[in-house]
Structure 1
């Protein structure tokens, strides 16, 4: 028999508990166990006035932002609607059924003001990293670094060729916020000072973004999201925002390693990265700090004519010379200089040469220097560090390191596919940095929730 039509019957009083209506296995229950915002009010105390109307609770705003980034809700307007309707979101944000959800404009006001001035989002991210360390997810022994391009909120139609762009003619007082931030980063190593090469196009709405075709497809404006992770469980230890060029991305590694050392006292034994980080200065910086670089070396010593390359010659560190396969010495200097300025400087590159008479009489000359009177080899300043990386590449640990490197690539795939950060919503270096920090915080919280899920409780009958 068909039952009666279901109709909502208004009641005078309701007995309702959010705690009872949020499933015990909901992701937010597990995340909530690792979110510690007790110190936020004290952290922001100096950025609030002692008079005027009471503000929206900053803890509520942070909890709402975490909901948005954990569940891929990119729009703050939509986030407010979802928190208004979703019981689990209300429970996580400590909102009762009758509590009003803040307006979306409140986020912009706080983000551009006290949140950014106090570096609250960096503090929130580092608090999450500290919790991961406390839970035993980070050993600090093996770390990996990589960068990923994230499309900026800019397009070519609203851009200018580099020849028509002159930053010196911009009045900072009349410029939009993103342009002012661009002017402030002209001397920073992660942006303006990273390279003297100017991009082909400059965006009017976000001039700090980089015009790039690194994906071998249509060019677009982008920023680089740089991750430093611990390979034990793929915990993100640090985040840095840079231009989408190799010099800036590689330089951010030093910044992140230094920051992690100062904040958490972590110094890795292994550093794992791809070939982009295999330059001599980068390898030298790591080796000087007793960090083993499991990084493919950028080596352009190959010769197209098939003759012997530099690695075919043995380096004699004790005597400061190369030894060719025939046993002859290639030296930089063959006499002592009374003037030290004319001798070896120890900086830059050095050229080592064999004697002309020796090469002319050598039976292997066609395989060594068929078109030259004598063989010469150029040695870079950080060649010792490059050789350390080459030797590590021959070990069994290197195979393990290359497998571990995929963990950071998986984090970027998760960031774009699951969390929806394939295109930025905020503009300017500061806005982009806020997005990257919140996304990394969400990824670490979801990692904690996955490894340590909330215990299941039996419902009362």
Structure 2
């Protein structure tokens, strides 16, 4: 038979416990065991006034941000609503049923102020890295690096062509926050000083973003999220925000490697990356640092006409010369020059040439230099490091490294599909950095929660 109508009965008192209503297997229970925010108040003490009205607890704000980034809640307005309604979110944020959720404007006020000035979000991210190291998830021997394009909160309609853009004519006092932040980073390789080449368009709302068509589709404004990960368990050990150009991404790799060495004493045996990182200067820097470059060499020495390439010539380091397949020498200099202008160019490259008479009489001229009087080969300054990378590419370990490199791409896929960070919400170089740091911290915490889930306790009757 039909039961009685259900009607809500008002009661004066309720016997209610949040602890009993959060499932034992909830993700936040596992994450909560690895969130260490005890040092936040001491870290921020100098950035608060000793007088005035008490502020919102910074630990509460950080816990709410972690909830948002762990569950893909990008809007801070919506985050406040979700924390207000969701019992598990309230439990994680240490809020009782009667506690009031902070207003959404509190986040932007703290983010643009004391959080950014104190580098709190980087400290939060590095705390998760330290916990992963303590749990034995990071060995630091095999690191991988890559960058992913994240669409910026900008569009072409509000942009200026490169011939009309002049940063020196901008008045910082009248400019938006994102523009002022960009002007502060003009001398930094990550954004302003990475390349002298001006982009085709510059956004008025976020000039730090890069107009790019790297996805082989319609061009858009973007920033690059650079990850340095340990391949043992795919833990992100460092993250850096840059413009979406190769020079800035290469510079961020050096920055991240130096930072993990100084902060966590990580000295990798190898670095794994794709061809974009296989330039001569980058490989030379890695070899100088004692890091084996498991990276495909960025090489344009191939010849489309089928003639002999530079790889067909043997390098004789002792005599500073190349030996062609016919046994003839290609030398840079055949006599000592008293005039320094006729010596080495100092441009990072050297040209080695064979004798004209030798090439003219050679039976293999059609295979070597059919359209030139003599064969010449250009050797870069870091050719020794490039050769080391080529030799590594022939090993079994290199094959394993190329498979491990996919772990970085998997993290970027997780970042965009699960955490919802396919488009930036904050503008400016600092806004992009804040979002990338929080997302990386959330990914590390989810990794810890997956590998070390919370113990399951039987529910009380």
- Paired residue for 2:244? 244
- Paired residue for 1:435? 435
Unaligned runs of 5+ in 1: none
Counterparts in 2 of 1:294-305, with a 5 A limit?
294-305=294-305
Q: For the residues of structure 2 that align with 1:316 and 1:427, how far apart are their CA atoms?
A: 53
TM-score (norm: length of structure 1): 0.98
1:404-427 per-residue CA deviation (whole Å, 9 max, x = no partner) reads 110000100000000000111101
**1:202 Cα deviation from its structure 2 partner:** 1.2
- Paired residue for 1:194? 194
**1:192 Cα deviation from its structure 2 partner:** 1.4
Counterparts in 2 of 1:350-361, with a 5 A limit?
350-361=350-361
SS for the counterpart of 2:130 is helix
**1:453 Cα deviation from its structure 2 partner:** 0.1
C-alpha contact 1:154 1:206 (8 A) present in aligned 2 = yes
Matched, 1:371 2:378: no
- Give the 4+ runs in structure 1 shifted more than 3 A: 336-347
C-alpha contact 1:151 1:423 (8 A) present in aligned 2 = yes
Counterparts in 2 of 1:50-199, with a 5 A limit?
50-199=50-199
Unaligned runs of 5+ in 2: none
**1:81 Cα deviation from its structure 2 partner:** 0.4
**1:340 Cα deviation from its structure 2 partner:** 6.6
Q: For the residues of structure 2 that align with 1:34 and 1:447, how far apart are their CA atoms?
A: 11
SS for the counterpart of 1:44 is helix
- Paired residue for 2:270? 270
**1:200 Cα deviation from its structure 2 partner:** 1.2
- Paired residue for 1:396? 396
TM-score (norm: length of structure 2): 0.98
Greater Cα shift, 124-133 or 289-298: 289-298
**1:356 Cα deviation from its structure 2 partner:** 1.9
C-alpha contact 1:141 1:270 (8 A) present in aligned 2 = yes
**1:284 Cα deviation from its structure 2 partner:** 0.5
What RMSD over aligned residues (CA atoms) do the two structures have, in Å? Answer: 1.2
**1:338 Cα deviation from its structure 2 partner:** 5.5
C-alpha contact 1:185 1:192 (8 A) present in aligned 2 = yes
Aligned residues: 461
- Paired residue for 1:281? 281
Q: For the residues of structure 1 that align with 2:154 and 2:114, how far apart are their CA atoms?
A: 26
C-alpha contact 1:241 1:433 (8 A) present in aligned 2 = yes
1:2-57 per-residue CA deviation (whole Å, 9 max, x = no partner) reads 21111111111111110111000000000000000000000000000111111100
- Paired residue for 1:292? 292
- Paired residue for 2:455? 455
Q: For the residues of structure 2 that align with 1:280 and 1:209, how far apart are their CA atoms?
A: 27
Provide closer, same or farther for how the CA distance between residues 344 and 156 of structure 1 changes in structure 2, counting only shifts above 3 A: closer
C-alpha contact 1:152 1:423 (8 A) present in aligned 2 = yes
**1:346 Cα deviation from its structure 2 partner:** 6.7
1:133-155 per-residue CA deviation (whole Å, 9 max, x = no partner) reads 00000000101100001011111
Q: For the residues of structure 2 that align with 1:287 and 1:420, how far apart are their CA atoms?
A: 37
1:204-247 per-residue CA deviation (whole Å, 9 max, x = no partner) reads 11111111111111111110000000001000011111001111
- Paired residue for 1:226? 226
SS for the counterpart of 1:326 is coil
Counterparts in 2 of 1:320-331, with a 5 A limit?
320-331=320-331
C-alpha contact 1:346 1:381 (8 A) present in aligned 2 = no
- Paired residue for 1:25? 25
**1:345 Cα deviation from its structure 2 partner:** 6.8
**1:304 Cα deviation from its structure 2 partner:** 2.0
Greater Cα shift, 109-118 or 245-254: 245-254
Q: For the residues of structure 2 that align with 1:307 and 1:350, how far apart are their CA atoms?
A: 21
C-alpha contact 1:332 1:352 (8 A) present in aligned 2 = yes
Greater Cα shift, 362-371 or 253-262: 362-371
Q: For the residues of structure 1 that align with 2:448 and 2:31, how far apart are their CA atoms?
A: 7
